[in-house]
Structure 1
Amino acid sequence: MGRPWGGEHQPTTEPTVLRSETTPMSTAWDTYAETRPQRPVTNRTGQFTWWNWTQYPDHGPGTELLGQPQNVLDLGCGDGRNIAHLVSNGATGIGVDIAGLQVERARKRWSPAYYNELTFAHADAVDYLLRSEERFDAITSVFGAVWFTDPTVLLPLIVDHLTPGGVFAFSHEPPIQGCYGCQGSYIRPKGTGPPRVVRRWAYDGPMWFNILIRAGFVHITTDIIDAPDSDGVGTLLVRAERPA
């Protein structure tokens, strides 16, 4: 049964935050966060927390892909809304993001006085996993660190941090046909200053299937979630498990 949330339960204190040093990559993602509008407080049905795999509000499947995890790690958690939704339904959660600005937003929005089992870490995903010994029932990444980290480095760490039978699920935009692998792009600041450089790893479903097999995952599925209208870009959704 989910925890209640309403106006009388608004956050009053700040959640636990693990901090990382500022790096060129974290600065790049802070720049990105500054250029993006913050998400609304509630969705169309008035919920304060909800899960969304896609870039479109209230569209696509929900947390049923994860089963009933007791503890969850979200890599590239942004403002924390997805991981907060899982915590509101009984899980413990850790949200990791390389952008300090996003972590600060999460701190202001989600309180340990209410969500006692929610922690935020300001860290690079690889660095976080290298220093963590915790195991998780589910690890997720929604347009997050999995898209922007070399999978040959990240995926072995993810499989090692899952419990036997644990679920790994992530989503991102499908690649442009013929454009695969590591790609660079610029993030331009709102005002003056040089553009920031980020990299992402673009693969389609069959490519991810083979990459995940090599990393040791099983029960792999890949799907395209169509956009809600014909002009939009779909979402690639991938699910895999650590062997039981």
Structure 2
Amino acid sequence: MESATIEQAWERYATSGRTPRRDVNAAGQATWFNWTSHQDYGPDETILGPLTDRSVLELGSGTGCNLAHLTTRGAHCTGMDVSPTQNAKARERWGHMPGLAFITGEALEFLTATDETFDVVYSVFGAHWFTNPDMLLPLVRKRLSAGGVYAFSNTAAEDVPPLGPKAAVTRFDFTRATWEFTLRSHGLHNVHVEVLPPPADGGQRTGLAVGRT
């Protein structure tokens, strides 16, 4: 799919009137990390390992809330999103924070063009879920430093309905076993994939995967 078409699809999503993340969470924190679609639920950024002075790239950074939190942990962060509107929202809310930059671009094009390397690359319901992993993972692997971490989350494959024939994007809804095989086949090691149950009040499950170089 051409990047212009992808941008149009995510621009529609960005301007669909979605509620922005709250100013503070249940613990009273102004920034926090969330892998799931449920508020104040699930694991945090510690999955990514040590963050102080580490270079971090988020693929599909949206409004930048997760990435902004990582800067408070001492990381040097870059957010990449195909939607200019999402990046504008991210810069408006978080642009004052040092060590944080937002770039407008499509994931495959950005990873192909950049010569930067990163200690951590991750995606939360973002570009990983909507990009062919056989195209994306070799580029991620190339851009990860030795000992680097790649992680992503998305709704568990069994919990999402198939996209319709007229969908503007493609979604890669793999099972846990398929993700494990795919990550290992593209040179990632110590791969761990799990399906997180929803909170007690219900909702969809979350697939969470981590691999290392």
Cα deviation for residue 139 of structure 1 reads 0.5
Are residue 128 (structure 1) and residue 110 (structure 2) matched?
A: yes
Equivalence for 2:5: 24
- Determine which structure has greater relative contact order: mean sequence separation of CA pairs < 8 Å that are 6+ residues apart, divided by chain length: 1
Contact kept, 8 Å, 1:72 with 1:92, in 2: the verdict is: yes
Are residue 222 (structure 1) and residue 206 (structure 2) matched?
A: no
Number of residue pairs the alignment of both structures matches = 208
SS at match of 1:199: coil
Please state which structure has a larger fraction of its residues in helix: 2
Equivalence for 1:81: 65
Are residue 47 (structure 1) and residue 47 (structure 2) matched?
A: no
Are residue 235 (structure 1) and residue 206 (structure 2) matched?
A: yes
RMSD: 1.9
Counterparts of 1:185 and 1:122, CA distance in 2: 27
Cα deviation for residue 196 of structure 1 reads 6.3
SS at match of 1:64: helix
Counterparts of 1:184 and 1:124, CA distance in 2: 21
**Aligned partner letter, 1:23:** A
Q: How does 1:71-150 map to 2 (within 5 A)?
A: 71-112=55-96, 115-150=97-132
Contact kept, 8 Å, 2:95 with 2:101, in 1: the verdict is: no
Counterparts of 2:164 and 2:6, CA distance in 1: 12
Counterparts of 2:174 and 2:60, CA distance in 1: 18
Equivalence for 1:33: 14
**Aligned partner letter, 1:24:** T
Are residue 213 (structure 1) and residue 174 (structure 2) matched?
A: no
**Aligned partner letter, 1:85:** H
Q: Deviations over 1:195-230 (max 9, x none)?
A: 861111110111001111111110000111111125
Cα deviation for residue 56 of structure 1 reads 0.6
Counterparts of 1:196 and 1:38, CA distance in 2: 24
**Aligned partner letter, 2:30:** F
Q: For structure 2, list consecutive stretches of 5 or more residues without a partner in the other structure.
A: none
CA 1:103 to 1:185, structure 2 compared with 1: closer, same or farther past 3 Å?
farther
Q: Which runs of 4+ in 1 moved over 2 A?
A: 183-186
**Aligned partner letter, 2:154:** H
Cα deviation for residue 98 of structure 1 reads 0.9
Counterparts of 1:48 and 1:110, CA distance in 2: 11
Are residue 65 (structure 1) and residue 47 (structure 2) matched?
A: yes
Contact kept, 8 Å, 1:94 with 1:121, in 2: the verdict is: yes
Q: Deviations over 1:34-91 (max 9, x none)?
A: 2222111211122111000000111101111111131100001110011110011111
Contact kept, 8 Å, 2:155 with 2:205, in 1: the verdict is: yes
Q: Deviations over 1:142-166 (max 9, x none)?
A: 0000000000000000011111110
| Sequence identity percentage | 36
Counterparts of 1:102 and 1:93, CA distance in 2: 16
**Aligned partner letter, 2:13:** Y
Cα deviation for residue 100 of structure 1 reads 1.2
